[in-house]
Amino acid sequence: MTAPGLAAEPEFVVLAGEDGEPIGSALKAEVHTDSTPLHFAFSCYVLGPDGRMLISRRALGKKTWPGVWTNACCGHPGVGETNESAIERRMRDELGLDVSGIRPAVPGFRYRAVDFSGVVENEICPVFLAEVARDPEPDPDEVMDWAWIAPRDLATAIDAAPMAFSPWSVLQVRDMRERGVFPDAARD
């Protein structure tokens, strides 16, 4: 969140070639269109002290998938920024949380999806797990709601109503379950 009266620094995303190597950067505000170039992102799923998973509902002002439920936090590493540093930054900015124990869950995850408005997400998006010690204090421009949910219940909800969730979270939860790295380790 930017302090009142201060302009936010422009945010850049790192563009990627089909080989998964960085090929440049572009302004985040300009890159998500109906022909979004492949770029780097991350998704982070967080667990609280009791083992429940934090999910968030995207604010209605978000450019893509407004109002849908998703993982705790996702975003884009900046130029020269590690995924871990980007996760720490976005967790503070979006949810007011400090994270610990960041670890990869699905390092090679990649997806492309088109939302109802025609905006394309086209990302190399490694998936991470982490821990937090308390409830979030979300930025309302990013997150309109949040909930703690048992991982098994999240997987059940995604299977029952996938359209209520971001397409990346649907794919990521299924992928983590198939790989046996989803926190509930449930396989049906």
Evaluate whether 44 touches 76 at the Cβ level (below 8 Å): no
pTM: 0.92
% of the chain residues with pLDDT over 90: 90
pLDDT tens-digit map of 71-92: 999 999 999 999 999 999 999 9
Residue 1 pLDDT > 70? no
Q: Which CATH class is domain 12-178?
A: alpha beta
pLDDT score at 9: 80
Which of the two residues, 163 and 8, has the higher pLDDT score? 163
Catalytic residue IDs: 74, 123
The full set of domain ranges for the chain reads 12-178
Residue 7 pLDDT > 80? no
Residue 185 pLDDT > 90? no
